[in-house]
Structure 1
């Protein structure tokens, strides 16, 4: 389904259901433009149709409307669904929102019986239910897309199991690690993201429908039957809370903001690693672009956009917190502002997850550049300090000894392995040939034997854990 075109967008004019009104004057055109939401809430239409069919079935089952009326309502709603799906739905000038548009069109199709659909229902609980169904669907979509991206990163980690690289703190080379270990950090971030979206799905479990405007309805409805038909496991216990609750939207926006922040960090590293200064990786042509003036350029624009999208999603979360933070109960028109941030975050996050998956699946890492950077012997400073600790030197003293060694090596323009035994002895009498053995062939990479560390044995354990968490084992 596509949104209503510009010609069909609602503008000033008589409401389609004006009839007898409490108001003596028509709405101002400026108010109509401010108030109408059909330009964006049309996206709720599949959920609104499903909800209306389930509601009509319940009304008939409870004897509130006749079986014949329910059959006509279902027929009309299925035609509405077909028109919305194929793009032939006739949006009208007076359609304030998608809910009124569907009811107006339904009545055009089935006649006066269309007016029975809104029995025992308010737009307040109707909208809240549609939004909960939308959030549930897109939270599940996020769970699937995050799983695919995490699986792609895991495959890259397995493919580059024993590729050494420098790990960084403060953007300075710190300690050597394996590329697999570094990539797995993103797998665990993504798994936490997936858990957050699974919690969002759980947060939509209570159906608002049946709360009416705020106080319940005057009919003996069967809310639980409707909930079961629409995939809710429970019904909202309090009608006031049901129509005023948008926690599940905030939960989605919060999970999306955190996930986008993780993608931003991933993008930022790929941007850095793609530079000639690093040269650690190259993004495939399919996920890069050139320059309008410099023919030699290959820009990792997909990674840069991952970096840039995160604040947009964070701002959507902040915007809805701003709407809700001082809002008195129950429904207020302010809550119409929940939809555009939600829709934008869903679209943006799903696109970013798709792009990150494609980019990571086709990226090329350069072993020579990674290994050369990891061979910097100063990265072994902590291991040398630990060597002294194993020989009885308190760690703080050992830290000072190694700092002196590093300073002396830099002053002399030497690598640590080029220092003579006499130079070592001047810093500490306990340093001997094991110092040189430690520096040989990057041996210090395999000294990180603690659980969760970067030694190959531990990385292999971590890969198994990640595969199990992703249900790939």
Structure 2
């Protein structure tokens, strides 16, 4: 018998129990639900709405229910619909009339919103920890490979030489922004809807700020209609997860490319690769590919919630029951991806010689040759044209700029002199990019100091939650 059966002459059809129940999903929120009920009962007693004795029995009953669920000995019944009704029905069975007083001054609408916000906070915080761990892995890899040069690309074509540490730190800063977005999602969820009841508040003299404080919320939501119907905080969490998944997918794509024979920039640990069922020589970057593939799953959860929310009138609608499955799936998926990627980066072997050899192709010093002419007094656009013709000459001969003789160079421009050799040296080319954020060793070392500070700040943020 459902707790709301009083108004109905007959029970629901058997097939609708399973169709309408959210219990298989929201039972994951049992700790949040019980915490909310404890806080609500304590507040009711403090306000004189129920007795202290009733509140004590309610707490005892809730504690025992929580312990049974934690040990797996709690018998869930799909006819209870959701975790809220399951806990309340069992509480009434265990403590009797005091348990029936618990729901005074609240509705499942504000109850589910409270549970979901508490759950979203916990998930956001856990993901922030995972992001921070991958940031540490990237920074560590950057610190371990000073001076390693590889071709920087645009359009996947060789462009200019960069330090491997510089390249890895680009992903560090993407993750730093992901951390900030997850932190913003945490803050968006950190407002209490409890006490808004079904949609209009309640006539009981409740203290919403007491329950908000007890549950660790920063404040209460000021509008009861908004409180029970808002899921923006889940959209924020899902969006933050989607952007993070996109960043991981980009990194995974590079790992797939770099581990191929055509690149050979890195060798994956056996722990983060698989073989072939038919080709014994294969070592496949399957887990990087899975990270890349799971991005679509995370995106799908964001789109599902956006579509669910787009046509809902105020206040609560049953459609909102579809809000939690995607939240859990995104968090689980992203957490696994972050963990696998951290292990992959930590254990990968970066092949400095292969990266250096690749720098001998693609005219990586072309921009520096043009800059050389600019320092000699030529306008940059004219210098650009001169070097472009020299590159064309190299293509016809099948050589690199460094293979051209001084006579070849002076054939295009008399400003070239013996010192051009220094301008074409890869280490000097890299060392010249000293602008803030550039790839010169001095600039990258400054960036690493910023990255270390960023991690310390992230740790401080987590410590405060």
The 5 Å alignment of 1:4-15 reads 15=1
| 1:145 alignment counterpart | 130
The superposition leaves residues 94-141 of structure 1 with CA deviations (integer Å, 9 ceiling, x where unpaired) of 221111001111111111221111000100000000000000011111
Which of 76, 81, 100 is the equivalent residue of 2:66? Answer: 81
Which of 188, 198, 203 is the equivalent residue of 1:218? Answer: 203
Which of 58, 79, 83 is the equivalent residue of 1:98? Answer: 83
Cα distance between partner residues in 1 of 2:402 and 2:2: 85
Cα distance between partner residues in 2 of 1:470 and 1:72: 45
- For the residue of structure 2 that corresponds to 1:24, the secondary structure is coil
| 2:175 alignment counterpart | 190
Whether the 8 Å contact between 2:159 and 2:362 is mirrored in structure 1 is no
What is the CA RMSD across the aligned residues, in angstroms?
Answer: 1.4
- For the residue of structure 2 that corresponds to 1:148, the secondary structure is helix
Which of 244, 250, 258 is the equivalent residue of 2:235? Answer: 250
Cα distance between partner residues in 2 of 1:199 and 1:449: 34
Q: TM-score, normalised by structure 1?
A: 0.94
Alignment CA distance shift 1:261-1:380 (3 Å) = same
The superposition leaves residues 237-263 of structure 1 with CA deviations (integer Å, 9 ceiling, x where unpaired) of 010110111111000000000011111
| 1:462 alignment counterpart | 447
The 5 Å alignment of 1:30-429 reads 30-376=15-361, 378-429=363-414
- Count of equivalent residues: 458
- For the residue of structure 2 that corresponds to 1:165, the secondary structure is strand
| 1:17 alignment counterpart | 3
- Of stretches 43-52 and 303-312 in structure 1, the one that deviates more from structure 2 is 303-312
Structure 1 gaps, min length 5: 1-14
Cα distance between partner residues in 1 of 2:179 and 2:357: 36
- For the residue of structure 2 that corresponds to 1:94, the secondary structure is helix
| 2:428 alignment counterpart | 443
Structure 2 gaps, min length 5: 460-465
Cα distance between partner residues in 2 of 1:224 and 1:421: 79
Cα distance between partner residues in 1 of 2:226 and 2:31: 25
Alignment CA distance shift 1:19-1:170 (3 Å) = closer
Runs of 4+ in 1 over 4 A off after TM superposition: none
Aligned-pair CA distance for 1:375: 3.0
Cα distance between partner residues in 1 of 2:5 and 2:128: 47
Cα distance between partner residues in 2 of 1:248 and 1:447: 46
Cα distance between partner residues in 2 of 1:93 and 1:469: 47
The superposition leaves residues 22-72 of structure 1 with CA deviations (integer Å, 9 ceiling, x where unpaired) of 333432233323211111111111100001011000000100001111111
- For the residue of structure 1 that corresponds to 2:182, the secondary structure is helix
Q: TM-score, normalised by structure 2?
A: 0.96
Alignment CA distance shift 1:93-1:471 (3 Å) = closer
Aligned-pair CA distance for 1:377: 6.3
Aligned-pair CA distance for 1:358: 1.2
- For the residue of structure 2 that corresponds to 1:471, the secondary structure is helix
Cα distance between partner residues in 2 of 1:241 and 1:17: 26
- For the residue of structure 2 that corresponds to 1:370, the secondary structure is helix
Whether the 8 Å contact between 1:267 and 1:306 is mirrored in structure 2 is yes
- For the residue of structure 2 that corresponds to 1:221, the secondary structure is coil
| 2:463 alignment counterpart | none
